[in-house]
Structure 1
Amino acid sequence: MSEHIPLAEAFKRAEYQVAGHGSRNIQVLKEALDDVDSDTDSDMYGKGTFIEDFEEKMAEYLGKERAVFFPSGTMAQQIALRIWCDEKGLKKVAYHPLCHLEIHEEDGLKELHHIEPILLADENRIIDLEDVVNMEEEISCLLLELPQREIGGQLPDYETLEAISAHCRENGIRLHLDGARLFEILPYYQKTADDICALFDSVYVSFYKGIGGVAGAILAGDEAFTEKSKVWKRRHGGDLISLYPYIISADHYFEERIGKMGQYHEEAKELASLFNQCHAVETKPYEPVSNMFHVHFHVSKEKIESILVDLYETTGIGLTSNLRETSETSCYYEVSIGDQYEYVPKDQLRSVFQLLDERLAR
């Protein structure tokens, strides 16, 4: 047994790591730069061929009139909601209780823009049509996060999305997509990005999650919306003198990985199935609807950490570097499948889960 070795250290030492694209080190940018001529002119304060070409490319991919590159999704989404509130003259928006804006942004929406959020649905489930239809408060905008990360990456069915979109348009409510992981859900819906984005008035996508770039985001919508977003981007300090390191990596890894989202989804389903065959383990959702899901252990964090450290050293395969405690007898972690999974020897991977099951059954 090797309980004295921290889980993160044991994971780092493992020969194979099942999730993600690999270490987020400087090599991520160095690899992307190999594709670019060193004489290429950079963008400057949000202008120039370099940034504008990429924005045009993403607008076309998402099926929107225009797109604007932002250094962060936090900035982009607050600005989107501010624009829709100003348009209607009502500073109220609705979103899920575990929305990123509500739990990870230090109340930026409230403190910077004085916008009041209306929390829809129970935090343990996704927003449904009834939640929107039965809303008592008048709002300017509804934000939907697809997939809903904090509850395992769950998704509504496509018919529900269509119904919510139709209701919002009939009732003068703007619909915004938190599509940080939009690319990753396309295989599940069997739709194009254009199909899904057509249901929404504005869309945000991330380039460092499933795509694996350095950082950065796109905010897309009609021309009037995006022109206003550029003004707010300047006000937020988002017009850095140059954003090209983010754009280069976003474009490089978009081209490299956008066609692999179906593969990641199938591999996530395979991995979840292995977890669900073990004692005291379940995944949420049971069958993943994207490349990400949550793994819940019905044992103490201390116990499972000890087991995992031992398994990593025995098999050379690392499952996770961290666990989040939910009670004295339970914990979980989040999985996002990327390039690394396909290189893990599957016979060794199956042996990891046989050993895990045996240890948890004791």
Structure 2
Amino acid sequence: MNDKDALKEAFKRTSYPLGGNGQREAGVLKQVFDGVEDTLESDVYGTGKLIEEFQSKIAAYLGKESAVFFPSGTMAQQIALRIWCDEKGSKRVAYHPLCHLEIHEEDGLKELHHIEPVLLADKNRLITLADVKQVGEEISCLLLELPQREIGGQLPDFEELAAISAYCREKGIKLHLDGARLFEIAPYYQKTAAEISALFDSVYVSFYKGIGGIAGAVLAGNSDFTERSKVWKRRHGGDLISLYPYIVTSDYYFDRRIGRMAQYYREAKELAALFNECEGIHTRPADPVSNMFHVHFKLPESAVIPILIEVYEATGVGLTSWVREREEETCYFEISIGDKYESVPKDKLHEAFRLLKEKLGAALYI
């Protein structure tokens, strides 16, 4: 067994994992459907009371006219950009170099829709208004990801965001929100999801991240936009005969967790402070702006993994199931706080960090 597999196995054996809402197992479905009547009518090819009521509920929560449920965010976002490109008559869109569409989707936007991306800003920082103003070619749409996951979940100031929105509207550039973690950033901005969404022409949200559903996404905007998105959803094969297992679980966990986002945010700040007290570790951001952040080690993964396994076996506290190598003999992992964190006994948590500090200190000065 290699080191990475050993870390995964050690993490599985821990009693107190720090991140997330728990394992993605069949019990997640069972818990929801135990309370569902056998006579609940399924949605059928994107229609029916079940899907339409959920779409209306989320549209209202986001302050948009209309919303459409999709099986995946990948499908939803490619379709959103395609619609805005067709409307403008230009196949160019702008987004961050580490945008999900650029690095995780096998060039789906380019191969399926022949859309040309314009990459804005250096990959290690956020897009600014100055970057948008310097775009030297016409674009149909600007995509902003809030928070910017691949650089630790960073966020622009709300004033900067509002200025970008105003500029795009002045110039006739559509503004699309990759809001996979929109619900999780509302506590930092001290704004509602609708107040944030009001800055954007179209909004995508996920139901399996902080919400913890099985899968699924919603694309929201004005009614003309969402009607066009339904056509593209059918073309992409997204109108399955029924999506009700995803819709029912999304609805159930949305109601259960949407009111806990402020708690997750406070707990992420508490946990990041513990990591930042350890020599050889820093978090990005130093002070989290959502329930998610990155943890960076000044040691290679070959040195960090054995330390983590020792901590897990001694305390039963699981920090992460993976680490990823970076340049210059460093490594990192990502953590998102959910229901699990509050169940970790504080004495166990502090013992785990005491041991982590001790082991890291010894490894740093070998």
* TM bucket, shorter chain: over 0.9
Asked if residue 237 in structure 1 is aligned to residue 237 in structure 2, the reply is yes
CA distance in 1, matches of 2:127, 2:328: 30
- Which range moves more in the overlay, 350-359 or 65-74? 350-359
1:310 and 2:310 matched: yes
What does residue 20 of structure 1 align with?
Answer: 20
**1:165/1:200 contact within 8 Å kept:** yes
CA contact (8 A) 1:5 1:309 kept: no
Which residue identity does 1:164 align to in structure 2? I
* Alignment match, 1:142: 142
State the secondary structure of the residue aligned to 1:282.
Answer: strand
State the Cα deviation string for residues 45-72 of structure 1 (Å, max 9, x = none): 0000010000000000000000000000
CA 1:120–1:4 in structure 2 vs 1: closer, same or farther (change >3 Å)? closer
- Contact 1:15–1:317 at 8 Å: present in 2 too? yes
Is 1:286 matched with 2:320?
no
> 1:328: Cα distance to partner?
5.5
> Offset at 1:43?
0.2
Show the counterpart of 1:73.
73
Unaligned runs of 5+ in 2: none
Q: Residue 254 and residue 148 in structure 1: after superposition, are their counterparts in 2 closer, same or farther (change >3 A)?
A: same
Cα deviation digits, residues 53-105 of structure 1 (max 9, x gap): 00000000000000000000000000000000000000000000000000000
**Aligned partners of 2:302, 2:64: CA distance in 1, in Å?**
49
Contact 1:71 1:216 in 2 (8 A): yes
How far does residue 38 in structure 1 lie from its aligned partner after superposition? 1.2
2: CA distance between counterparts of 1:40 and 1:9? 39
CA distance in structure 1 between the aligned counterparts of 2:346 and 2:135, rounded to whole angstroms: 48
What do the CA deviations read for 1:148-180 (whole angstroms, capped 9, x no partner)?
Answer: 000000000000110000000000000000000
Give the deviation of 1:327 after TM superposition: 3.1
Q: Deviations over 1:159-209 (max 9, x none)?
A: 011000000000000000000000000000000011000000000000000
**Equivalent residues in 2 for 1:347-358 (5 A)?**
347-358=347-358
Distance 1:150 1:173 in 2: 25
4+ aligned runs moved over 3 Å, structure 1? none
Which residue number corresponds to residue 251 of structure 2? 251
Q: In the aligned structure 2, how far is the partner of 1:234 from the partner of 1:4?
A: 40
Superposed counterparts of 1:1-362, under 5 Å: 6-327=6-327, 329-362=329-362
The answer to whether the 8 Å contact 1:177/1:202 transfers is yes
Contact 2:19 2:319 in 1 (8 A): yes
1:35 shift after superposition: 2.8
Indicate if the aligned counterparts of 2:4 and 2:322 stay in contact, CA closer than 8 A. Answer: no
| Residue identity matched to 2:53 | D
TM-score by length of 1: 0.98
Q: Deviations over 1:277-305 (max 9, x none)?
A: 00100000001000000000010101110
- Structure 1 range deviating more: 171-180 or 36-45: 36-45
- Identity of paired residues, percent? 69
Decide whether the 8 Å contact of 2:233 with 2:239 is kept in 1: yes
Paired with 1:4 and 1:269, the residues of 2 have a C-alpha distance of: 27
Please list the CA deviations of residues 324-357 of structure 1 after superposition, one character each: whole Å capped at 9, or x if unmatched. Answer: 0113621000000000000001121111111111
How many angstroms apart in 1 are the aligned matches of 2:217 and 2:259?
A: 19
Give the AA of the match of 2:142. L
**Distance between the aligned counterparts of 1:160 and 1:287, measured in 2?**
19
TM-score, normalised with respect to structure 2: 0.97
Deviation at 1:4? Answer: 10
Could you tell me which amino acid in structure 2 is paired with residue 136 of structure 1? G
Tell me if structure 1 keeps the 8 A contact 2:264–2:337.
Answer: yes
